[in-house]
Amino acid sequence: MDALVHVVGIGSPFGADRIGWRVVDELRRRPVVRRWGEKVRLSTLDRPGTGLMEQWRGADLVILVDGMLSGAAPGMVRCVRPDELRAIFSQYSSHGLGVAETFALAQALGSAPRSLTVIGVELTDDEGGQREAAASAATRVIDEVEKRLEISHA
C-alpha cells in the first residue's frame, strides 16, 4: 500500500507536555521518514481542536502522539483506537476540544481519516519526573511510529 501518513505531535512546545513535539522532531531525522518522502507528513499542534481536522485532510493514516494523565505509571505508552478515544481522552484532555471530540466531529462531517491511532504517553504532574518519563517513552513511541510507517508502505 502506498498510503499518505500524517504524524501529528500534540502538546506544548515548551515544558512538561512536549512529548508529541519531541517525537516529531526526532522523526524528522529518521531514515524511514526520508525514505517515504512525500508520503509521510509530520507536524505539531499545541492543541487538537478543529485545527487538527485541517492537519489530517487527505491522509489515509493519521498517528497522533499526545501526553495523557490517567493515573497510570509515568512513561507508560498506550496505543489507542478510535473506539477507545472517548473513554480515555475525553476524560483526561486538557485541550478543551480534545482528540475524542475532534475525531467525533470529523466523523460527523465526513472528514475523518480512514485510519487513526493515538499514541498516548502517561505524564506526571512532577516536572522532574515528567522529563524522566518523557525521555524513556520517546524512544518507544518513535519505534512504534516507525513500525506503523513501514507497515503502511509495505
Domain of residue 51, CATH code: 3.40.50.1450
Starting at the edge strand found earlier in the chain, the sheet holding 115-122 runs 40-45, 5-10, 61-68, 115-122, 77-80
pLDDT digits (tens, 9 = 90+) for 96-132: 577 888 888 888 999 899 899 999 888 876 666 666 7
pLDDT digits (tens, 9 = 90+) for 49-88: 788 898 888 899 999 998 887 788 888 999 988 888 777 6
Number of domains in the chain: 1
Structural domain of 22 = 5-152
Q: Which residues pair with 67 in a beta bridge?
A: 121
Q: Which residues pair with 41 in a beta bridge?
A: 6
The model carries a pTM of: 0.87
Other C-beta atoms closer than 10 Å to the C-beta of 112 total 18
- Identify the CA nearest to 15 among candidates 94, 99, 81: 94
pLDDT at 137 over 60: yes
